[in-house]
């Protein structure tokens, strides 16, 4: 006899189980996609915040012309958000405050207008920087630690320590090392005394107070690592090795670690010129320097002394003019006053440092 009792089916429970499992898997997939999107957005906002913070830091370092007090703070509105910058003194020169060390911290906040005023990203960067004041010893219009040789009596050599641009104090016309030749030729003002000679090249170079060793070995960061005479805004220009100055007039601070050669029909500089070797005045080039000129500074590094600078070698109508001009010197030094970032002293995780 056949049994007629009902049997339980498994189709419906299996179907429900599969649907539930698929729902869980789909929800997990959506959650993962959402999390990855949030991570991507967070990373993007972190990068944006870093850009905002760095923008504020650079703006602060470049804008200060007067030494800021400890705890000085500024807020900048920049593209993509705003940044709060705070400067703290970590080391002060108790003698003259010419080289005060700061830590400058900049916190950038990313603002997305569509999401309101709440910052969507935040990042803090910091930079150790030294406050420096441009200064130089005004000894003479021309200081030649390598010595000079005035060769041609007929040449138009004119070196003046009288301020040609204002009414500042008069300097010596030239301060040169022993071994300089024919200093009775040419015109040197004031007279007396004419060009003052005496002491070794190293001694004369040392009287300038220029830290030449630091400059040559990377202690100074110039605005240009070449001569850019198109920029007349008293910037700093530095050339490693020899450099030409041809058919042009530059302005600001010119540093040449080797020899500086003038060429063309005319060449000149307005500001401060620091030359490691000698200045080579080419025949036929009318040269005019206004400000302060130092040559032979490589005497401070040891080694073979640079050759004498020859003035008046070509004679005739060629002019060799070196004038002291205080406004050009003052403007050049003013451009050097400000923050000098310390190399390899920038961090992008200051908040957790």
Per the CB < 8 A criterion, the answer to whether 108 and 317 are in contact is no
One domain for residues 144 and 199: yes
One domain for residues 145 and 65: no
Helices (H) and strands (E) in the chain, counts: 4, 18
Cα 67 to Cα 98, 100, 134, 233: the distances in Å are 9, 9, 12, 21
Burial label for 23, CB within 10 Å (0-12, 13-18, 19+), is exposed
pLDDT tier at 4, thresholds 50, 70, 90: low
One domain for residues 173 and 288: yes
26 sits in which H/E element: helix 11-63
For residue 115, the model assigns a pLDDT of: 66
Provide the b/e sequence for 127-139 (b: ≥16 CB within 10 Å).
bbbbbbebebebb
Mean of the per-residue pLDDT values of the chain: 87
Q: Provide the domain limits for residue 67.
A: 41-133+338-352
Q: Is 33 inside any structural domain? A: no
Number of domains in the chain: 2
Six token digits for residue 27? 């929800």
One domain for residues 124 and 202: no
Taking the CA of residue 36 as centre, how many other CA atoms within 13 Å lie in the half-sphere pointing to its CB? 6
Q: Is 120 inside any structural domain? A: yes
pLDDT tier at 323, thresholds 50, 70, 90: very high
Per the CB < 8 A criterion, the answer to whether 300 and 139 are in contact is no
Per-residue pLDDT for 153 more than 90? no
Q: Is 13 inside any structural domain? A: no
Contacts of 148 (CB under 8 A, 6+ apart): 142, 174, 176, 180, 181, 183, 195, 308, 309, 310, 311
Provide the b/e sequence for 29-67 (b: ≥16 CB within 10 Å).
eeeeeeeeeeeeeeeebeebbbbbbbbbbeebbeebeeb
Q: How crowded is residue 68: how many other Cβ atoms within 10 Å of its Cβ?
A: 18
For residue 321, the model assigns a pLDDT of: 93
One domain for residues 121 and 147: no
Q: Is 230 inside any structural domain? A: yes
pLDDT tier at 342, thresholds 50, 70, 90: confident
One domain for residues 206 and 325: yes
pLDDT tier at 265, thresholds 50, 70, 90: very high
Phi first, then psi: what are they for 331, rounded to 5°? -65, -35
One domain for residues 216 and 123: no
168-179 pLDDT tens trace: 789 999 999 999
Q: Taking the CA atoms of the chain, what radius of gyration do you get in angstroms?
A: 33
∠ CA(65), CA(71), CA(77), 5° rounding? Answer: 70
One domain for residues 97 and 165: no
The widest CA-to-CA distance across the chain, in whole angstroms, is 147
Six token digits for residue 186? 């040419």
The arithmetic mean of pLDDT across residues 184-213, rounded, is 92
One domain for residues 313 and 249: yes
One domain for residues 104 and 180: no
23-43 pLDDT tens trace: 887 777 667 765 555 544 455
Per-residue pLDDT for 191 more than 60? yes
Q: Is 4 inside any structural domain? A: no
Least confident of 80-84, 165-169, 238-242, 290-294: 165-169
One domain for residues 177 and 300: yes
For residue 128, the model assigns a pLDDT of: 94
One domain for residues 193 and 98: no
Per the CB < 8 A criterion, the answer to whether 234 and 217 are in contact is no
Residue carrying the six token digits 């957005």 = 41
Q: Is 22 inside any structural domain? A: no
Identify the CATH number of the domain in which residue 92 sits: 3.30.1300
Q: Is 170 inside any structural domain? A: yes
45-76 pLDDT tens trace: 667 888 899 999 999 998 888 889 999 999 99
Q: Is 36 inside any structural domain? A: no
């Amino acid at each position: 006899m056949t049994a007629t009792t009902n049997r339980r089916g498994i189709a419906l429970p299996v179907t429900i189980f599969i649907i539930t499992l698929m729902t869980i898997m789909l929800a997990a997939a959506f959650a993962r996609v959402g999390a990855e999107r949030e991570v991507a957005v967070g990373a993007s906002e972190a990068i944006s915040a870093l850009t905002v913070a760095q923008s504020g830091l650079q703006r602060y370092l470049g804008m200060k012309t007067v030494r800021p007090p400890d705890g000085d703070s500024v807020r900048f509105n920049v593209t993509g958000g705003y940044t709060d910058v705070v400067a703290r003194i970590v080391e002060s020169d108790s003698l003259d405050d010419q080289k005060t060390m700061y830590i400058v911290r900049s916190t950038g906040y990313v603002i997305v207008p569509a999401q309101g005023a709440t910052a969507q990203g935040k990042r803090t960067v910091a930079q150790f920087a030294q406050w420096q004041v441009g200064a130089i010893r005004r000894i003479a219009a021309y200081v030649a630690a390598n010595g000079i040789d005035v060769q041609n009596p007929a040449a138009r050599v004119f070196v003046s320590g009288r301020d040609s641009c204002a009414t500042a104090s008069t300097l010596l016309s030239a301060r040169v090392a022993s071994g300089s030749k024919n200093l009775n030729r040419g015109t040197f003002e004031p007279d007396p005394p004419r060009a003052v000679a005496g002491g070794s090249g190293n001694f004369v170079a040392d009287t300038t107070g220029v830290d030449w060793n630091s400059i040559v070995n990377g202690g100074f960061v110039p605005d240009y690592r070449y001569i850019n005479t198109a920029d007349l805004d008293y910037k700093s220009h530095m050339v490693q090795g020899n450099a030409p100055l041809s058919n042009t007039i530059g302005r600001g601070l010119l540093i040449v670690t080797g020899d500086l050669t003038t060429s063309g029909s005319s060449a000149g500089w307005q500001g401060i010129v620091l030359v490691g070797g000698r200045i080579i005045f080419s025949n036929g080039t009318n040269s005019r320097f206004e400000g302060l000129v130092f040559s032979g500074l490589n005497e401070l590094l040891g080694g073979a002394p640079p050759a004498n600078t020859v003035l008046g070698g070509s004679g005739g109508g060629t002019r060799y003019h070196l004038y002291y001009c205080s406004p050009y010197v003052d403007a050049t030094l003013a451009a050097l006053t400000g923050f000098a970032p310390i190399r390899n002293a920038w961090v992008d995780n200051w908040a957790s440092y």
